[in-house]
Structure 1
Amino acid sequence: MTTSYNGRLTSLSHGGGCGCKIAPGVLSDILKAAPMRNLPAALLAGSDNNEDAAVYQINENQAIVATTDFFMPIVDDPFEFGRIAATNAISDIYAMGAQPLFALALLGMPMQILPLEVIRQVTSGGGSVCNDAGIMIAGGHSIDTVEPIYGLVAIGVVDPKKLKRNNGARAGDSIILSKPLGIGILSAALKQEVLSEEGYQEMIALTTKLNKPGVALSQLDGVHALTDVTGFGLAGHLLEIARGSHLKAQVNWHAIPVIQEAVEHVKADIFTGASTRNWADYGNEIELASDIALWQQNVLTDPQTSGGLLISYAPEQEAEVLAILNADGFNSAQKIGQFVSGKGLSVD
């Protein structure tokens, strides 16, 4: 990490994107120190089971959905950093099946290091994504920090009867992943200056694609659980659904969509430290087939910044789920496994 600006935002931070997240086990210990008590019945979702957002019911047909997400730069281009951070924050609204309403900006910048024009580009990038989502940035808060930080508080609304949580999976459900894995690996390659221009453009395209299908998916009764894949990796977020639903997730490695260039880099031992921390936290809950190599393990735990939706649904609704995803350009969406009785995660 440097103390002067050389045109590379990533040089000003010790981590980037959702790879900045505190490891899941450590986060759990922190939250235990301040348990939530005397919760009102109107609070439909809180910090239990690491839900994507808090949900508070205000009447029979409406509940407010609130979330916040922010991180340090995953790319050097300030406009694209703003776009990625905003897309990632709004994703948690879509992951609850909710419609976003508005956002508040969270901005922390090293004011003595970064030119004002660079900071303006970050906020402009975030604003452009909010415009794409059909919402406005209605306010926010800014501070002078050591490392650059940007993100949003996102507010949405959902019919409580259509709310999708990460603990509603049922035995026999199929699992679809809507975006390919490998974003964390590409970000590590970018930091090491070995990411190709094609890989960079794919990274930008994936991390700035809004998870809008979450709204339409919430209307399907056969969609039982929904979340997005972010800093804890595919394995971590599958385990969250499995734990909350008291089930076991079974995944077919060969069905998982993975960015091809990410495979090349991870095979060359280029991946994030967050991947290793993730495995240390929850690897004891995972059964890997004997032919699963270490690089594949690192893909399963790779932190995804603005990753895809993870959908648990009744098999008979597969055509409808895929039609919704494909209509919005999620052409890499694949069925990757199913939920069965038991606990944990197995990968064959």
Structure 2
Amino acid sequence: MKKLLSIAIVLLLSQGLTGNLFSQVNNQKEGRAVWVSSTNFVLEKDKAVTQIKKTLDQYRSIGINTLYCFSSMPDQNNKNWDFLNVFIEAAHSRDMEVHPVFCPGGGVKLEGVIKQHPEWLIRGKKREIYSQLNLVHLGAQDYILGKISEALKYNIDGIQLDYIRFQVNQGFSYDEANCSAFKKEFGISPLEIKHQDGGNPMWCEWIKWNARQIENFVRRIRELMDENGKNVTLSADVFPDHETAKVEIGQDWGQWANEELIDVYCPMLYTDNNNVFRRGVRAAVKLNKGKKGMVYAGIGIRSAHNNATPENVALQVQIAREEGADGVVFFYGPYLTEDFVNELKSDVFIMK
């Protein structure tokens, strides 16, 4: 009997050390999320509601509990009914959270208020205008903050930030205000820097200056969320490697983690290379160790960078667990088809 008891204890301990549970930060439940969009559903309300219910029932079968939704606000889609209200009702009745996604640095239409404020837009080195907001400009920041404030009037569970960055390849803005502000601090305009590469200390300062401006904007969003008084989460989709991100796109999410500005980080680890995926999850978890930020590893089902199999998606869920992530988030809803659902259901998301 003693021998059997000893064996049982060893088995229990080994399961505790090597089991499939996510690390539970502050007793948070296992995060199972998916990115979706209002565009995944048809325009006609009754048919869309049927689609929504069917989709969410499928997600519920594998324990999905968080929905990060693009184009959910009335001014973000062309539906003549309030999609977000309907979506929230359907999700909450299935114990799922809804987090509208905002893309501050993404593409914008040059119309309406934005057309009236060209000073909000990115300017290239030759002063050409790009169709992205210059997130350094306080007017552009206020515009986004206003949009987030509108979303907070709904019964949502959080706000998610995507494209909280500049465009790739250091797509900073060279508008007059930015150049003047940098020159006031460093005595030289970024346009006057001759060798625009990492070998020039002044160019390095320009890179860091832009990252600080994005950080200041994230801080303003955090303050807005806190002042609102709602118990809602602020999450962010971030590039896989924080060291590369702060140089290439001004996204210093390592510093955000240090300041605890974000509640949940979703590093977009879209790769079929599981060694690379593992290293990315490990680095993100390490970055947030001892801090309040949680990590939901972004798993690409199909993206510009990968085209996964159901088996490999399930394996990456397991890897995320092994590396101590607090959850996973799948990109993207329409690709989470029956073959992926069945694989997850039979393997890593066995429902009791």
TM-score by length of 1: 0.25
Rg larger for: 2
Higher RCO (CA 8 Å, separation ≥ 6 residues):
1
TM-score by length of 2: 0.24
Greater share of residues in strand? 1
